[in-house]
Each structure stands twice: as C-alpha cells, then as structure tokens.
Amino acid sequence: MSAAATMGWRANLATIAALVSRAKNELVRVPGAVIPGVLAPTIFFLGLNGVFANLTQLTGFTTDSYASFLVPVSILQGAGFTGAATGVNLARDIEQGWLDRLLASPAPRWVLLTGMVASASLRAFIPATAVLLVAFAVGAHWPGIDGLLIAYAMVAATAAVAACYASGLALHYKSQSAAPLMQAGVLALILGTTAYAPLELMEGWLQDIARVNPMTQVVDAARQGFLGGITWAEIWPGVLALAAMLAVVAAFALRGMRRMGK
C-alpha cells in the first residue's frame, strides 16, 4: 500500500473515531438522553413477561421460561430503537446545518455514514446490558459466555441495520418529522418475527410474515443460548440475514448521503 493510501485510511479511521467520540460525548454530557432508550425495551420486557408468561403452558412452546424466550427480542428491540434514534439525530443535524459542515470536509461520505452507524452499534450495548440484567434478575436462563457473545453481536449488527435504514430516511426527508416512520419500520421488522411465540403457535398472516422475515433468523440465532445449546446451524442463517439486510439498507443510506447537497 502506498504512503498516500495509508494516510488516507488513517484519516478515515480518525474521522470514524471522532464521530463515535461525538456520540459518546452526547451520552456523557446528557446522561438523561440514554434513559428513554433503556426504559422502553425494559418496560416492554417486564410488561410482556408479566402479561404473556403463561403462554408457555401452550402445547408446543419450546421453554417453560417466558423471560428466556422474550429477552433476545427485547435486546434486539433496544438495538432497533437505538439505530432509529441515530436517524432522528441525523435529521436534527440536517435541520441545524451541522451535516452541511461535515459534508464540506474532505472526508468521504461513506466514512461519515460509517462513523454514525458504528456509534449506534456501540451505543446499543447500553440498553442490551440493562435489559439482560433485569431479565436475569427475574429468572431468565444464563446463555453461557458464547450465547451472550452471539446475542451481543446480533445486537450490534441489528443496531447497524436500523441506523442505516433510519439514516436513509433522514437523508431523504431531511426532517425529524420522519421519526415515526423510522421507529415504526424498525418495530415492525423486529416484532414481525417469532417475537411472542414459536412459529408453529402463531396465527394467520403474521405466521407467513415471520416465516419470510429475515429478522426471524436473527431472533432465532440470538435466542438459542437462552433456550438451550448453541449450534452453527442456527447461527449462520442469522449472520447471512443480517449481512443481506445491512447490504441493502447501507446502499440506501449511502445513496442518500451521496445525493445530499447536489
């Protein structure tokens, strides 16, 4: 690699690190900002567990612990909301003219996008950890170190998918008014899976949607450690689904980024 190319990569990495650092500073300076992102999935987890826990009595349910069945969905939901919040923050930056200043810098646009998406992936660990701690306190099974690492990897990648999708919308609408579209899209993607019950126990059209929704593979991969043993056969469809979704939404967001200011 030539010296110029090496310097270029170093500059790109420094830009990504600076954008991640900016997101970190937002959390440090306004700690209250993290509370809604943590509260929402935690409340949903505790609420749904309190309400639907007896569903495990249905014949065909794969576990007797609804908390264990539900917790992977809740941490992915937290990751989805964190990703959607990245889109809302980007829309705010567009409205306030901050993105224009970033675009005027020599940093490539994909680098700017990567910085925002990476910060979403890292930030998603906060609600995930909070929900996991609450879940273990109410009796969710310990997934083992490997199961936990797989769950965290799924969380980071899901946040990246949600952040790309929401950023694409933010770049298209250039307004925080698009926030409900970002949140509803992410919520539908994550809950339109085997979120509440195994596929065999679901009903009607939702069963058909869950069958073809790539996110179902991700939920199943994140869930396996909480329900039993871990096998590669359950992991790779989730990894493949995430890679495919990320490719599509990253292309969507990058297209929006390239069109900005033109």
Partner 1 sequence: MSRLATDLRVVKALGMRSVRQTFRRPQLMAPIVVFPSLLLAIQTGGAGGAVNLPGFPPVQSFLQFMLAGAMMQSLMLAGNSGGIALAVDIEMGFTDRLFAAPISRFAVVLGRLAGTAVLGLAAALWFLAVGLLFGAEIEGGVPGALVAIALCSAAAMAIGGIGAAIALRTGKSSIVQGMFPLIFVVLFLSTAFFPQGLMVEPAKTIAEYNPLSFVVGGIREPIVEGLNGTDVLEAALAIAGIGLISLLMSARALRHRMRTGG
Q: Which is nearer to partner 1, 54 or 231 (CB)?
A: 54
| Minimum distance from residue 180 beta carbon to partner 1 (Å) | 3
Q: Which is nearer to partner 1, 180 or 229 (CB)?
A: 180
Concatenating the DSSP letter of every residue in 133-151 gives HHHHHTTPPP-HHHHHHHH
Q: Which tokens hold the place of 108? A: 């490539």
Is residue 36 within 8 Å of residue 49, measured between CB atoms? Answer: no
Q: Which is nearer to partner 1, 11 or 188 (CB)?
A: 188
Is residue 211 within 8 Å of residue 241, measured between CB atoms? Answer: no
Q: Which is nearer to partner 1, 88 or 150 (CB)?
A: 88
| Minimum distance from residue 258 beta carbon to partner 1 (Å) | 26
| Minimum distance from residue 82 beta carbon to partner 1 (Å) | 15
| Minimum distance from residue 83 beta carbon to partner 1 (Å) | 17
Angstrom distances, CA of residue 93 to CA of 66, 96, 102, 103: 40, 5, 10, 12
List the beta strands (DSSP E) in the chain: none
Which residue ranges make up the site for partner 1 (CB under 8 A)?
36, 39-40, 43-44, 46-55, 57-58, 176-181, 183-184, 187-188, 191-192, 194-197, 201-207, 209
Is residue 78 within 8 Å of residue 38, measured between CB atoms? Answer: yes
